[in-house]
Amino acid sequence: MAVHGLLNIDKPPGLTSFQVVAQVRRLSGEKRVGHAGTLDPLASGVLPVGVGQGTRVLPYFLGLPKRYRAEVELGASTDTYDARGRTTSRGDFSAITQGEVEQALAPFRGRIAQRPPPFSALKLQGRRLYELARQGKPTQPPQRWVQVYELKLVDFSLPLVRLEVECGRGFYLRSLAHDLGQALGCGGHLRALVRLRYGPFSREEAVPLPQLNIPAHLLPLDAPLQALPPVSLREEEAQAVVRGQALALPQEAREGQRFRAYGPQGLLLAVLRWEGGRLRPEKVFASFS
């Protein structure tokens, strides 16, 4: 029997996101399994996993905010910007004050330009940056604009500082740790990381991998789409959407606005997008009509 839906998994440290996907694939018997928002092996916390048709919903996570608790160790920089890497420099952190850390954090709030780590999965001329770095050819990737909605110091206990961060797509906590160490003049790297929330998925509701029971923990396809306005379709409208046809709405919407559309049986049928005065199917889950 086909399995379709989403899982909110509490990834343990030490596993890659791909290894979590492999375990879910084995447990579910479903070939189509994927995840949203890679967590490094060092990190733990919320990892959304899609199963079956749930893999087609995962792209809608990408624009949603994420919240982390990060532990930064001052006094040493590493080539990977985290605790797994080779130490590249050391500095004296003993005189740094909490006030200096607070002051150093200020430029990292809001819309900022950030340089990703040289050890990352980003591609340069078709090659992953971590592949180049492992071959002794570390590359400085270009800066990218990222959004930091909230950044606060929650604990100061040298050489460790603990932060809570709410950020948007493409933000690297490893880069934040490294850049903070540089701003303080002593170096720093990411020692531990927990993803507390990703969109509507929270760690309080996440399932530890050893306790995963897929039938019991499977969430519906519309779980990450609750911020989209709902639209209920009549039978003839649902059939038109499944055929890829656009619909008119009695009210106006803003250009590009998305809606979650439900068929007559109350199940998620499609994601619709308002374009040129009509609702056009962006993604159709025809098997649920």
Q: Which residues are identified as catalytic?
A: 40
Distance between alpha carbon 185 and the CA centroid of its chain, in Å? 30
For residue 215, give the 3-state DSSP assignment.
helix
**Token pair belonging to 98:** 């909490």
Dist. CA 65–CA 164, nearest whole Å: 13
Could you tell me where the DSSP H helices lie in the chain? Answer: 17-28, 98-105, 129-134, 173-184, 214-217, 235-242
DSSP state of 117: P
By the 8 A CB rule, do 120 and 134 touch?
Answer: no
Closest by Cα among 251, 200, 192, 206 to 228: 200
Amino acid letter for position 169: R
